[in-house]
Amino acid sequence: MERSQLERQRVAKLERLREAGVDPYPHRVDRTHTISQALETLETAEGQGAEGAQIAGVAVAGRLRSIRTMGKVTFAHIDDGTGAIQLFLRVQQLGDGAYRMFKQNFDLGDFVGAHGALMRTRTGEISVLADRITMLAKAISPLPVVKEREEDGETVRFSAFSDLEERYRQRYADLASNAGVREIFRVRARVMSALRRFLDERRFLEVETPILQPLYGGAAARPFTTHHNQLDQDLYLRISFELYLKRLVVGMYERVYEIGHDFRNEGVSHKHNPEFTQLEFYAAYLDYHDVMELTEDMVAYAAEEVLGSAVIQYQGHEIDLSPPWRRVTLRQAALEVTGVDYASHPTAPELAAAMEAQGLAARTDATWGYLIDKGLLGAVEPTLIQPTFIIDYPRDISPLAKAKPGDPMHVERFEFFIGGLELGNAFTELNDPFDQEQRFIEMGQLYGPDDEEAHPLDEDYLRAMKYGMPPNGGFGMGVDRLIMLLTDQVSIREVILYPHMRTKE
RNA sequence: GGGCCGUUAGCUCAGCCUGGCAGAGCAGGGGCCUUUUAAGCCUUUGGUCGCAGGUUCGAAUCCUGCACGGCCCA
């Protein structure tokens, strides 16, 4: 192990501890209070009139965050994740030897235990006046030092651990030194549990379906491939849960949902990670209008549960997630933003020409559906700051959605957008096996045999549908993006603990 | 895939344009200090300047390639 000067100094301190008979990595810890409990304990005692009280026999533990030595007295802060508390270390209480031991061999970043009395210092800060200080785990590598000061109610940080690459590669160090990052993943956990609670309360059954699939489907995306050696079988990592969940609806579970990871072998960007968290649900006897209501209720519920309000701040915008959300057809929205009415240009060359006439880039090799999805909707997307359902998509790009009655061009499908981000996709599910087979065949013709974004024809899925699939509404949402929204983050990497990074060297 | 930007001490950054002894703050070491909180004061250590080539008497600095990252575009 190659060591920096700082690491060598810390190893020397560790050896000095050992020579003094101190185990720098002891097995057991005597702790009576978490730090937040300790702070509460003194406040409660004071609230009951015990002004100036000391509470003896308190033991706390945590990581050393700051050390200020003034001769024979030292102030330090430790942090255990529940909060931070000041340690008040004096020769008088600790004794000469222990005090020297601390000054010489304890460093920022070490995990320590402190035993003593809860009290307030002259400046009024709750502190542990320590009569014993114990090494719990010596840190060899120095964590980035982050100092803060309150200034007009704002926390001003001096120096920081802010290099994005190193923060993501060494998330442990990022979390250990940046409390704000820790908070993001606490919010994330609360969002996940709020989503589950919302669905559980509405009689949805949480299920788990295969990640390794012999055939991929349910989305237009390129899969990761892998191989089972003993079976000598090629397998794909799922790109969606859709086809497996709808098989369960055939199997008489009226309402199912799954939260898990999808894998898409595509570009990495501030909005895309190759592995991301998806929520899908399917509910028998609902159509896409019902699913819209569930969607707006669920998102508003999550915000209220986690942030205490359905009105959120995102990138300087105030966004109101309260139902009902605006509903507008894709055709209308595209016309308003781009001036192009795709319905009057029903072929790819005509539509491309119309788009170019409006100054929009249009790939000449693209299909009609692609031009609408990437070209027109792509222009609309950043304008959708307040929550919006874009409804009624072209049939060509929606092979699993049920047709819109009396409108051969469209299906009953919506996507929803908040803060300029696409959050999810849903439809009245196609449950007619004959129509479904026809759609698969059309997709095959549209994409050509080698295009991995095409939906391969899933015979088993068709077989399931032939047993009878009740009318149902389905829904999929990128959970990471919802969390970006609720934590005011622009990059998906800030809400995924270990985002994908290219291997170095 | 393309364009632009970045990579210098443990961390955050100067230095590069205009080539000439590698710097600052924090952290670390030594010293003073028994109520501090970005503690303070004195002192001091620490570098594969991302990697590999090239140009030059001389390269952190100029040029080329590569790696990793960021932003924008596809």
Q: What is the DSSP letter of A215?
A: S
Instruction: Find, among A423, A398, A394, A207, the residue nearest to A295 by Cα.
Output: A423
In A232-358 the beta strands, taken as DSSP E runs, fall at 233-237, 255-263, 275-284, 311-314, 317-320, 326-329
Residue A505 banded pLDDT, cuts 50, 70, 90: low
A53 has a pLDDT exceeding 90: no
Relative orientation angle of helices A96-105 and A5-19, to the nearest 10 degrees = 160
Question: What is the per-residue pLDDT for A445?
Answer: 75
Q: Which of residues 257-296 of A touch strand B (CB under 7 A)?
A: 267, 269-270
Q: For residue A165, what is the enclosing H or E element?
A: helix A164-169
Torsion, Cα of A409, A414, A415, A419 (10° steps): 120
Mean pLDDT of the A478-485 span: 96
pLDDT digits (tens, 9 = 90+) for A430-452: 999 999 999 988 887 766 655 66
Question: What is the per-residue pLDDT for A51?
Answer: 72
Mean pLDDT of the A266-281 span: 93
Torsion, Cα of A104, A110, A116, A117 (10° steps): 110
CA A95, chain centre distance (Å): 48
Q: Between the CA of A308 and the C1' of B33, what is the distance in angstroms? A: 48
Task: List the structure tokens of A350.
Answer: 């005509």
Q: Between the CA of A269 and the C1' of B72, what is the distance in angstroms? A: 11
Q: What residue segments make up the domains of chain A, in order of their start?
A: 5-142, 181-325+386-494
Class of domain A5-142 (CATH, top level): mainly beta
Q: Which of residues 76-115 of A touch strand B (CB under 7 A)?
A: 77, 86, 88, 90-92, 104, 107-108
Strand A205-206 relative to strand A255-263, pairing: parallel
Q: Which amino acid is at A224?
A: F
> Do A24 and A14 meet the contact criterion of CB atoms below 8 Å apart?
yes
pLDDT digits (tens, 9 = 90+) for A220-242: 888 999 999 999 999 999 999 99
Residue A111 banded pLDDT, cuts 50, 70, 90: very high
Q: Between the CA of A167 and the C1' of B50, what is the distance in angstroms? A: 17
- Strand B bases near protein CB (under 7 Å) are 1, 6, 9-13, 25-30, 32-40, 45-47, 67-74
> Do A249 and A281 meet the contact criterion of CB atoms below 8 Å apart?
no
Question: What is the per-residue pLDDT for A450?
Answer: 58
Give the C-alpha separation, A263 to A223, whole Å: 7
A415 has a pLDDT exceeding 80: yes
Q: Between the CA of A482 and the C1' of B60, what is the distance in angstroms? A: 44
Q: Specify which of A50-64, A139-153, A355-369 reaches the highest per-range mean pLDDT.
A: A50-64
Question: What integer best gives the mean pLDDT of chain A?
Answer: 93
pLDDT digits (tens, 9 = 90+) for A86-107: 999 999 999 999 999 999 999 9
> Do A77 and A88 meet the contact criterion of CB atoms below 8 Å apart?
no
Give the C-alpha separation, A264 to A470, whole Å: 30
Question: What is the per-residue pLDDT for A449?
Answer: 54
Q: Between the CA of A130 and the C1' of B35, what is the distance in angstroms? A: 14
Relative orientation angle of helices A459-466 and A433-447, to the nearest 10 degrees = 160
> Do A260 and A208 meet the contact criterion of CB atoms below 8 Å apart?
yes
Question: What is the per-residue pLDDT for A101?
Answer: 95
A32 has a pLDDT exceeding 70: yes
Is the minimum distance from the CB of A383 to strand B below 7 Å? no
Question: What is the per-residue pLDDT for A455?
Answer: 66
Give the C-alpha separation, A399 to A406, whole Å: 18
SS3 A343: helix
Positive or negative torsion for Cα A35, A40, A45, A51: positive
Residue-wise DSSP of A297-329: HHHHHHHHHHHS-SEEEETTEEEE-PSPPEEEE
Q: What is the CA radius of gyration of chain A?
A: 29
Task: List the structure tokens of A87.
Answer: 């340690």
Give the C-alpha separation, A495 to A344, whole Å: 42
Give the C-alpha separation, A402 to A80, whole Å: 53
Residue-wise DSSP of A83-121: -EEEEEEEHHHH-HHHHHHHHHH--TT-EEEEEEEEEE-
pLDDT digits (tens, 9 = 90+) for A284-342: 999 999 999 999 999 999 999 999 999 999 999 999 999 999 999 999 999 999 999 99
Q: What are phi and psi of A53, to 5 degrees?
A: -75, 155
Residue A146 banded pLDDT, cuts 50, 70, 90: confident
Is the minimum distance from the CB of A137 to strand B below 7 Å? no
A359 has a pLDDT exceeding 90: no
Is the minimum distance from the CB of A127 to strand B below 7 Å? yes
Task: List the structure tokens of A476.
Answer: 């999929």
Which conformational region is residue A23 in: left (phi greater than 0), alpha (psi within -120 to 50 degrees), or beta? beta
A476 has a pLDDT exceeding 80: yes
Is the minimum distance from the CB of A12 to strand B below 7 Å? no
> Do A427 and A420 meet the contact criterion of CB atoms below 8 Å apart?
no
Question: What is the per-residue pLDDT for A322?
Answer: 98
A181-325+386-494: which CATH topology? BirA Bifunctional Protein; domain 2 (3.30.930)
Q: Between the CA of A369 and the C1' of B74, what is the distance in angstroms? A: 18
Question: What is the per-residue pLDDT for A360?
Answer: 87
Q: Between the CA of A267 and the C1' of B37, what is the distance in angstroms? A: 47
